[in-house]
Amino acid sequence: MNDFRFYNPVRIHFGREAMAQLPEELAGVGKKILLVYGGGSIKASGLYDRVLAALREAGKDVVELPGVMPNPRTEKVYEGIDLCKTHGVDFILAVGGGSVIDCAKAIAVGARTDRDFWQAFFVNWEEAEDAIPLGTILTIPATGSEMDRSSVITNWATGEKNGYDSDLTYPAFSILDPTLTYTLPKHQMVNGVVDTLSHIWELYFSEPDTESVTDALAEALMRSVISATRTALKDPTDYVARANIMWASTFALCGMLNNGKKTDWASHNIEHPLSAVFDVAHGAGLAVVHPNYMKYFCSYAPERYARYAVQVWGVDPAGKTTLAVAQEGIQRTRDFFNEIGAPATLTDLGIPESAIEDLAARTDLSCWAYRELTREDVKAILGMCL
Ligand code: NZQ
Ligand code: ZN
């Protein structure tokens, strides 16, 4: 097990009654609130009215930033920074999914500096010295942004999708009510499940592969997500299934599964140009890329991939080579994605073969699982995705 630092200050309120904690959380923050949300799902579900009523009850002055798009763009962040500076915002409340929360985090650091937020933080990765505190109400389990320190923003003009990490962008609190996810369209739920599994794989398939608490936790989470997804697809209002999916997605990126591991992120790095250039949903892109990445790389760590096949998919290893067991586990992964209706090819995503060269050129190669990732590897993996 590698040495590690673990820090996570996010207060989680989880469950059917979690929204009841909002007034107490609001009592502890400043008067001027920026309310950040997406394209309208929170209005359709009635959540917007509940949040606004709580804010009014708490005597807050509310400034709104609606319309955060999936794969949130720099323009939206600049709009939010302007609102914060103009109105002297004290606290940001993000209500939605990873896109809304990531946008809120970028605004939080961008509003407390005179530097250009994109160039300073998302390109140069300079240290942020201050940030407006934020809280979240999560409506789609997927990214883990509600309990992590990351924000991912797309610069549509340059075709870049970059991330920024800072301890200052941990939310102060996050409200996780699984019943808020009942309204998710099936494909959005599936995208979230794929993203959750992909996060676990980015951490699990990396050295060291010696026996560890971290890997055992990862395997348990994967089994829970797979079984809960099957249940929730049959009955979208199955509370236990929705609750397990929600907590697993949050847990996957809260830092616990990084502990002692090198971590990879190659599949995420390969996916990011897909969503930056073609605006595909992050989870949909991963559903195409990650199983092919596994297929391509499994011969460099056959024991680890075979362990995954046995522990997560129940593959019987009797009479098979280690590599054959590993490959069976990867096939089961693809079969599961097909079963739940996740996309399988670049064609499914509307991405032509002619784009591969450019997408590979845009891929950040600073990742490492069992060996270095090269530009040729990326081209070969994207070729397998056709
Ligand atoms: O915009 P609205 O109308 O709210 O609709 C959203 C959106 O269209 C809808 N939705 C959310 N909750 C709903 C709902 N519809 C009905 N009922 C509900 N309860 O779902 C759509 C997708 O939402 P979005 O926030 O884009 O999804 P997600 O949470 O998957 O976020 C994706 C973004 O997060 C980044 C991705 O790259 C992508 O930009 N990531 C962030 C990470 C992080 N901060 O740590 C890590 C991830 O690997 C990822 O890169
Ligand atoms: Zn992800």
Ligand 1 atom closest to 275 (CA) = 37
As a whole number of angstroms, the distance between CA 166 and CA 110 comes to 12
**137 and 245 within one domain:** no
Q: Which ligand is nearest to the CA of 142?
A: 1
Please tell me the distance between residue 44's alpha carbon and the centre of ligand 1 in angstroms. Answer: 16
CA 237 vs CA 4, 18, 50, 183, 252: distances in Å:
39, 17, 20, 9, 23
Q: Which domain holds residue 47?
A: 11-179
**196 and 175 within one domain:** no
pLDDT at residue 369, rounded to an integer: 77
**266 and 344 within one domain:** yes
**37 and 65 within one domain:** yes
Are the C-beta atoms of residues 139 and 95 closer than 8 Å to each other? yes
Q: Who contacts 321 (Cβ-Cβ below 8 Å, separation ≥6)?
A: none
CATH of the domain at 315: 1.20.1090.10
Structure tokens at 164: 């920024």
**198 and 117 within one domain:** no
Are the C-beta atoms of residues 280 and 351 closer than 8 Å to each other? yes
Q: Which ligand is nearest to the CA of 145?
A: 1
Ligand 1 atom closest to 199 (CA) = 48
Q: Which ligand is nearest to the CA of 273?
A: 1
Are the C-beta atoms of residues 139 and 175 closer than 8 Å to each other? no
Given the DSSP bridges, would you call strands 150-155 and 160-165 parallel, antiparallel or unpaired?
antiparallel
Please tell me the distance between residue 325's alpha carbon and the centre of ligand 1 in angstroms. Answer: 34
**156 and 77 within one domain:** yes
Please tell me the distance between residue 127's alpha carbon and the centre of ligand 1 in angstroms. Answer: 26
As a whole number of angstroms, the distance between CA 50 and CA 54 comes to 6
Closest protein CA for atom 20 of ligand 1: 188
As a whole number of angstroms, the distance between CA 68 and CA 55 comes to 20
Domain assignment present for residue 1? The answer is no
pLDDT at residue 320, rounded to an integer: 98
CA 316 vs CA 220, 299, 310, 320, 325: distances in Å:
18, 19, 7, 9, 8
**324 and 215 within one domain:** yes
Please tell me the distance between residue 161's alpha carbon and the centre of ligand 1 in angstroms. Answer: 15
Q: Which of 154, 179, 204 is the last residue of a domain?
A: 179
**253 and 164 within one domain:** no
**Which among 37, 64, 71, 140 is the best mutation to test ligand 1's pocket, defined by most ligand atoms within 8 Å of the CB?**
140
As a whole number of angstroms, the distance between CA 20 and CA 303 comes to 47
The 10s digit of each residue's pLDDT in 252-296 is 999 999 999 999 999 999 999 999 999 999 999 999 999 999 999
Please tell me the distance between residue 16's alpha carbon and the centre of ligand 1 in angstroms. Answer: 21
Q: Who contacts 71 (Cβ-Cβ below 8 Å, separation ≥6)?
A: 99, 154, 161, 275, 276, 279, 281, 282
Domain assignment present for residue 6? The answer is no
Domain assignment present for residue 26? The answer is yes
As a whole number of angstroms, the distance between CA 4 and CA 365 comes to 23
Ligand 1 atom closest to 68 (CA) = 1
Domain assignment present for residue 324? The answer is yes
Amino acid 113 reads T
Share of the chain above pLDDT 90, in %: 99
- Smallest CA-to-CA distance from 357 within 372, 378, 374, 373 is with 378
Prediction pTM value: 0.98
Neighbours of ion ligand 2 (CB under 5 A): 195
As a whole number of angstroms, the distance between CA 28 and CA 173 comes to 11
The 10s digit of each residue's pLDDT in 185-221 is 999 999 999 999 999 999 999 999 999 999 999 999 9
Closest protein CA for atom 16 of ligand 1: 184
| Ligand 1, residues at Cβ distance < 6 Å | 38-42, 45, 70-71, 96-100, 102, 139-140, 142-145, 148, 150-152, 180-181, 183-184, 188, 191-192, 195, 253, 268, 282-283
Sign of CA dihedral 131, 137, 143, 144: positive
pLDDT at residue 112, rounded to an integer: 98
Q: Which of 145, 179, 213 is the last residue of a domain?
A: 179
Vertex 269 angle, CA 206 and 376, to 5°: 90
pLDDT at residue 180, rounded to an integer: 98
pLDDT at residue 229, rounded to an integer: 98
As a whole number of angstroms, the distance between CA 132 and CA 207 comes to 36
**108 and 27 within one domain:** yes
Are the C-beta atoms of residues 103 and 77 closer than 8 Å to each other? yes
- Give the residues of the chain that fall short of pLDDT 70: none
As a whole number of angstroms, the distance between CA 38 and CA 136 comes to 13
Q: Which of 145, 162, 179 is the last residue of a domain?
A: 179
How many domains does one find in the chain?
2
**188 and 144 within one domain:** no
Please tell me the distance between residue 250's alpha carbon and the centre of ligand 1 in angstroms. Answer: 13
Please tell me the distance between residue 100's alpha carbon and the centre of ligand 1 in angstroms. Answer: 7
As a whole number of angstroms, the distance between CA 81 and CA 109 comes to 9
User: What is the side-by-side order of every strand in the sheet holding 173-176?
Assistant: 11-14, 173-176, 134-138, 91-96, 32-37, 61-65
Q: Which ligand is nearest to the CA of 70?
A: 1
Residue 175, φ and ψ in degrees, nearest 5: -100, 120
